[in-house]
Structure 1
């Protein structure tokens, strides 16, 4: 393959990814607004019968301990739990510290808050996955569609 042909293909792939990103964002906006906290089956018609090819569901991530000043956080933990320090706070110890948070603030055994870390509350997001036979079922269906067709299907829904 010539370099210019490869560049042309990569440009086309970049365009396709951008279009798919727009389609995905539009579909996610619909699913987030209308179906929060639900698991929704995706079906396509095969031989006149609906076949489940995937699912979309809302995921609420668990709060995470966010370190705002790594150096001072390490010092803070080292003073209270010196066995938990290597070069930094062990990743395996972060869930223990997360459990010590009260209203998003990390508190030590003496009730002293840590000003160098806080608990974040991530936004929920949707997750879509195919069923075991989803790819096999979708390949002939989507093989005949263009990206514009896919946009029209999403907009019509």
Structure 2
């Protein structure tokens, strides 16, 4: 096991990667490094190529690969990427600065992928409009909306089967 892999063990021992036996973990590491063929990886973990293929199709093995990838990327690149983003906040382009700010907010959990300030305002307006409609419907049912010049809407468009 390489020095970087020993550091990973200290990061956290929970999740699918750490639930696998040492051979499967080693296979995941070798697959991630992408330096050996599947045949060589299978030999390295003392299993047949068909066994490695079976592992690669297993949902838990796939989840463990994803977890390992996230751990390695986080450990090796997260702080460097964040430093670069902070530097981009001073870019000449307003669009670059905006995209950078949004990315940092998303990373911090303060904004989701489905969230922008304009979209959030639109969602609030929609919720308020839906509340107004619901209030009007409730008033209509209780008779609070009665006026001298009320209009009754009739839905006279129906299915041909209803006739």
Measured against the shorter chain, the TM-score band is: under 0.3
Larger strand fraction of residues: 1
Which structure: larger Rg? 2
Larger helix fraction of residues: 2
TM-score (norm 2): 0.25
Higher relative contact order (CA 8 A, sep 6+): 1
